[in-house]
Structure 1
Amino acid sequence: MESQKLENLLNVSLQVTETERKESLILDSGFHSDTKQWDLIIKYSGDLSSISDYAAVTVLQGGYAIVTLNEADIPRLTANPLVEFIEKPKTLYTAVNTAVTSSCILNYRHYSNPELPDSLLGRGTIIACIDSGIDYTHPDFIDDSGSSRILFIWDQGAAGTPPSGYRQGAEFSREQINAALRLQNRSEREQLLPHWDFSGHGTAVLGIAAGNGRASNRNYPGAAPDCDIIVVKLGTPDASGFPRTLELMQAIDYVSRKGAALGRPTAINLSFGNNYGGHDGESLLEQFIDQIAGIGRTAICVGTGNEAAAATHTGGLLKTGQTEDVYFSISPYETNLCLQLWKQYVDDISISLITPTGIRVGPLVTKNKTVKVSAEDMELIIFYGEPSPYSMSQEIFIDFINRSYYLQPGLWSVHLEAQNIIDGKYDIWMPGSISLNSMSRFYYPDGDTTLTIPSTARKVISVGAYNHHNNNYATFSGRGPTRLNQSIKPDLAAPGVDIMSTAAGGGYDRVTGTSFATPFVTGAAALLMEWGIVKGNDPYLYGEKLKACLLKGARRRGQQHYPDSQWGWGRLCLEDSFP
């Protein structure tokens, strides 16, 4: 039986078979088929000791926790009055697809005399990168004395001793990293400190935010070349090979606690996101990040993703009595797909699906109940959600489950009949394009509200990308506004096209994507906190005040109206951002 204490997606996941979950792109995340256990995110109040006899608990800040328990014990967890709401984890994807000058940072870099009053190199600050790890042997993350600039690495997927208070991975200290660096034999070094950045994504992100340029004779330094560094390599327990929101929340909690314990201002860089959710700041992940943003002296910078040109979002405005067909294609050889339609609960809309052969499925009439329908040698799993204590919106979730390995390709449509409309706005998302074949797309996409979650959180600094070679906005960069309250996002844009940065294995390479625009802002945030907090010019220069300064200092183009859904308040410019 579905429970309103569970989010919609978790309700669906618990009502389908294990085989159906396994065939789904999104329902299986969080479930361990070998142990029949779930990893879940809960919001709670009070003392969680009452659930410790049947659940393993990792307590996070702000009234959130991660629990692992048998599926049979979920009703007990749901019935606990201290547990307010429960979500399952979602899969996260990276936003990949001589810019320091464009961001007005070089004017504050004086290597020859870093003690000058206007010299800003990030000293006394921490940049925390939550990503795919780091090549800790790269010269750009080692200071001139040969010591690592990395304070800690938490590899969530490694075997070893996890940080205190957490249940997975291995934590490595600066002392352990330095001991590994002193070993000349690579196999011995890797045996002592078994951490790798296989994709190179995190290494490139950190090179932009914090690299010191030693491997290039200072030709390719990052924004804050003298800051200290904390690295979290997100674990990837799912078969997809991608991390989940659950790992991300623990990582944010970890670096926030580390910064507070060290008494250091901390700029946190996130370059992961996903398309599942209302894109309105109201999921537990987004609310948790907003809570952390208000704890300690932090700034959290998040890329808006690369979905603007991917045709994975569409939407419209309906009036009573109006009908509309939303066309989308399923690519040949597509194995998984789901749609999520979000609308105001006050609106009554009848929804049907039209298959490529003209079969009409629907109207899909359910209420807070999972329904299974057969069509085109596939199974459709449908769930009409209800508002939650944290959201006034209604979600209609449709999952396409194959019965013969591939989904039925061709032109599909969602047929909408507006019956009683007060607001009329609706949005539909597919999963992120990195998880789909290129021909799975909406025929008439909407590039607005394509920013990925959690860049939709209210208190983060959301970063879009532009091409600093011609000052044009990058067509792939996720755009705002947010869905429900139409908040302007991104907050600002930074260079994200053809950026030279550190490469795992040594040297440098060129990278593109909002993943690589975000660390410019993260580095600029560290420099502002160095000026304000470390140097004593403004001890309150963090959080929302720091964001306000960056928005005020952003450079705007000609007669263009600001803020807007692409540029936010303009292009990052540190020089004009001091209060």
Structure 2
Amino acid sequence: MTQEEKYKIINNDYTDLYIEHNRNEKLLNRFPGATTHIINARYAIAYVPVDILDKNFIRKYGYSTLPRLYGLTSKVALESTRVHRLRAIPGFNLRGKGVLVAIIDTGVDYTNPIFIREDGTSKIIRLWDQTIDSLDHYPKDTFYGTEYSRKQINNAIKSSNPYDIVPSKDEIGHGTMLTGIMAGSEVPSSNFSGVASDADIIVVKLKQAKNNLRDFFFIPYDVPCYQDNDIIWGLEFIIKTANQYNMPCSICIGMGSSQGAHDGRGPLDNEMYFFTIFPHFGFSLSAGNEGNNKRHFFHTTDPSIRYTTVELNIGENEPGFSMELWGGLPNTYSIDMLSPSGEYIPRITESLRFNIEIKFIFEETTIFVDYNLVETNTGDQLILLRFSKPAAGIWRFRVYSRGSEPGSFNIWLPMNGFISNQTYFLNPTPYTTITSPSNTAPPITVTAYNPENDQLYNQASKGFARNGVIKPELTAPGVNLVVPNLSKGFTTASGTGLAAAFTAGITALMLEWGVVNGYYPNISSIQIKKYLIRGARRSRLLHYPNQDWGYGIIDLFNVFNTLRSNFPTKK
């Protein structure tokens, strides 16, 4: 990629497509004439004229070449995890000193006093705003956005017009909220304190997804929506920055996607898997808020019964949406459909790669159907349906399973915000609703509960992953938390994204104990997760791990209490 070609990164006349090149330069030429942008040794992005994104795209190039689209997962607590009790013990006054916390989200209000130290300097050491175009002030090799240093941010907060110096803003507030939970300063009068209040901060503000990808999946323009290739670039930036500062780093991703097979396989999932084994890093991911939204259907097939009936209610004025059916081995799957007016589309038989456009006579509806018998990332079968101007009412789909053995299939609708609340399955399954990339095995996946009454957040996504991996592993505060708002005041909010931020703060304290204080110099995210699981608070009335709570509620005091008989020696 050259400086002259970088406009294609943000230009809607070009769409972004994945190339998994694995150091093989021949694979980089998969899309002739495309501009290729190498992310790392495994993945590159091809910027291709948007005309390629037509109704035949999946059949020609496969589902896995498209970036997944992500939304936000959030809309008192320190006592519940017994952080204060731990801090009262000499030698355990852990506040994140010497540790970095990092957020990939909607940006941050860097002028908020909770992100400014008593000496007037910012806690933020680096900020990459992907939305602000610059000639050459972007992170190395990214070719987009603008990177701001701590010095620039310090100059800005001392200025009467800070945004003339650092014009980055969080217009939505989600990133400010999560960053405040991780590392905001204590404000006793508002009953607020970040978990790792002495930590330094890295911020990545994501650019919004391209409209051509929103159009392909029928995602509204007015909801926050992000591409996972931009998240991968954010991860690369954070890892490099932390290594430059030679500081341990706790990373939070408080967003998710209902696209994909929900089994931890995909470009972002693979990146998370790779980075999680690095020492000195911790990864906290939100489970999602899809548990009670009726957007998941699961069924185990019986070879003696020809088909399973799936009923879907589509709400009034639904402009369009996508729906994904993932069929498990060894069987193959096919569908027919019946519209609310009674128009019947006969069974569409299996095919290796097949697509069809269905136009209905009595409705204005068009459905684009793609069969992919062996999807690239998973090896499982995918049936992708994209609805344009779907008729309101009850749609019936019969799913046929071919094979002599019992099989199973899952169907997922888009996540909250990407589809109307009036579009849902009549017989839904609340489990296996953890959003991507939180189905990836090594990172810490967190669900949310209310520490006031020990009740699980009623919207929380539930486990396990489609392939049986235990997710979520842990539960953290995430209901009615006091959080910073964009008016430099405070409000309350709920969601599993908040629980992930809380856990990222806890992870920062573990990194301070292990790396900075020298008790476990090479501790990694996997090892932190094992410590937190061992110390988690569990009810005698439940069996663990379970699909709702994982291994239980995070209890940092008990983590160290369980180590009393075998406490590591300081090195």
CA distance in 1, matches of 2:9, 2:22: 27
Q: 1:418 aligns with which of 373, 398, 401?
A: 401
- Could you tell me which residue of structure 2 aligns to residue 27 of structure 1? none
Q: Is the 8 A contact 2:64 2:376 kept in 1?
A: no
Q: Name the SS of the counterpart of 2:232 in structure 1.
A: helix
Deviation, 1:541, is 1.9
Q: Structure 1 pair 123/50, CA: closer, same or farther in 2 (3 Å)?
A: same
Q: Read off the aligned partner of 1:460 and give its amino acid letter.
A: P
- Could you tell me which residue of structure 1 aligns to residue 316 of structure 2? 332
Q: 1:99 aligns with which of 70, 77, 91?
A: 77
**How far does the alpha carbon of each residue in 1:378-417 deviate from its partner, in whole angstroms, 9 at most, with x for none?**
2211111122453131111111123xxxx20000111123
Q: Is the 8 A contact 1:42 1:86 kept in 2?
A: no
Question: 2:541 matched to 1:562?
Answer: no
> Unpaired segments of 5 or more residues in structure 2?
1-7, 212-220, 564-571
CA distance in 2, matches of 1:459, 1:357: 47
CA distance in 1, matches of 2:103, 2:511: 17
Question: 2:295 matched to 1:312?
Answer: yes
**How far does the alpha carbon of each residue in 1:93-139 deviate from its partner, in whole angstroms, 9 at most, with x for none?**
101240111112112446xxx9x521101011110011111110111
Matches within 5 A, 1:14-163: 36-46=13-23, 48=25, 51=28, 54-70=33-49, 87-109=65-87, 116-160=90-134, 161-163=137-139
Q: Name the SS of the counterpart of 1:326 in structure 2.
A: strand
Q: Is the 8 A contact 2:449 2:455 kept in 1?
A: yes
Matches within 5 A, 1:69-468: 69-70=48-49, 87-109=65-87, 116-160=90-134, 161-184=137-160, 188-213=161-186, 215-216=187-188, 219-239=191-211, 240=221, 241-322=224-305, 323-367=307-351, 368-375=353-360, 376-388=363-375, 390-402=377-389, 407-468=390-451
CA distance in 1, matches of 2:445, 2:502: 12
Q: Name the SS of the counterpart of 1:524 in structure 2.
A: helix
- Could you tell me which residue of structure 2 aligns to residue 26 of structure 1? none
Deviation, 1:33, is 11
**How far does the alpha carbon of each residue in 1:337-378 deviate from its partner, in whole angstroms, 9 at most, with x for none?**
221111124213341111111222120225212111112322
CA distance in 2, matches of 1:104, 1:431: 37
Compute the RMSD of aligned alpha carbons.
2.5
**How far does the alpha carbon of each residue in 1:242-291 deviate from its partner, in whole angstroms, 9 at most, with x for none?**
21111111111111111122211111100111111100111222112111
CA distance in 2, matches of 1:227, 1:36: 41
Deviation, 1:217, is 5.7
Deviation, 1:163, is 1.1
CA distance in 2, matches of 1:73, 1:84: 12
CA distance in 2, matches of 1:362, 1:205: 49
- Could you tell me which residue of structure 2 aligns to residue 525 of structure 1? 507
Residue-pair matches, total: 529
Q: Name the SS of the counterpart of 1:68 in structure 2.
A: strand
CA distance in 2, matches of 1:50, 1:421: 38
CA distance in 1, matches of 2:493, 2:190: 19
* TM-score for the superposition, normalised by structure 2: 0.88
Q: Read off the aligned partner of 1:372 and give its amino acid letter.
A: E
**How far does the alpha carbon of each residue in 1:54-78 deviate from its partner, in whole angstroms, 9 at most, with x for none?**
444443345222332346899xxx9
Q: Name the SS of the counterpart of 1:434 in structure 2.
A: coil
CA distance in 2, matches of 1:137, 1:488: 40
Identity over the aligned pairs, expressed in percent?
27
Question: 2:481 matched to 1:481?
Answer: no
CA distance in 2, matches of 1:574, 1:55: 50
Q: Name the SS of the counterpart of 2:81 in structure 1.
A: coil
Q: Is the 8 A contact 2:64 2:375 kept in 1?
A: no
Q: Structure 1 pair 49/327, CA: closer, same or farther in 2 (3 Å)?
A: closer
- Could you tell me which residue of structure 1 aligns to residue 485 of structure 2? 503
Q: Is the 8 A contact 2:19 2:28 kept in 1?
A: no
> Unpaired segments of 5 or more residues in structure 1?
1-30
CA distance in 2, matches of 1:388, 1:287: 16
Q: Name the SS of the counterpart of 1:362 in structure 2.
A: strand
CA distance in 2, matches of 1:370, 1:569: 43
Q: Is the 8 A contact 1:44 1:84 kept in 2?
A: no
Q: Name the SS of the counterpart of 1:506 in structure 2.
A: coil
Q: Is the 8 A contact 1:366 1:383 kept in 2?
A: no
Q: Structure 1 pair 502/97, CA: closer, same or farther in 2 (3 Å)?
A: closer
- Could you tell me which residue of structure 2 aligns to residue 512 of structure 1? 494
CA distance in 2, matches of 1:61, 1:304: 27
Q: Structure 1 pair 255/502, CA: closer, same or farther in 2 (3 Å)?
A: same
CA distance in 1, matches of 2:9, 2:127: 26
Q: Name the SS of the counterpart of 1:571 in structure 2.
A: coil
Deviation, 1:538, is 0.8
Deviation, 1:92, is 0.9
Q: Read off the aligned partner of 2:276 and give its amino acid letter.
A: A
Q: Read off the aligned partner of 2:127 and give its amino acid letter.
A: I
CA distance in 1, matches of 2:104, 2:262: 21
Q: Is the 8 A contact 1:256 1:296 kept in 2?
A: no
CA distance in 2, matches of 1:369, 1:505: 52
Answer with 286-295 or 63-72: which moved more.
63-72
Q: Structure 1 pair 342/388, CA: closer, same or farther in 2 (3 Å)?
A: closer
**How far does the alpha carbon of each residue in 1:408-462 deviate from its partner, in whole angstroms, 9 at most, with x for none?**
0000111123342424111111111211121100111100001111111111110
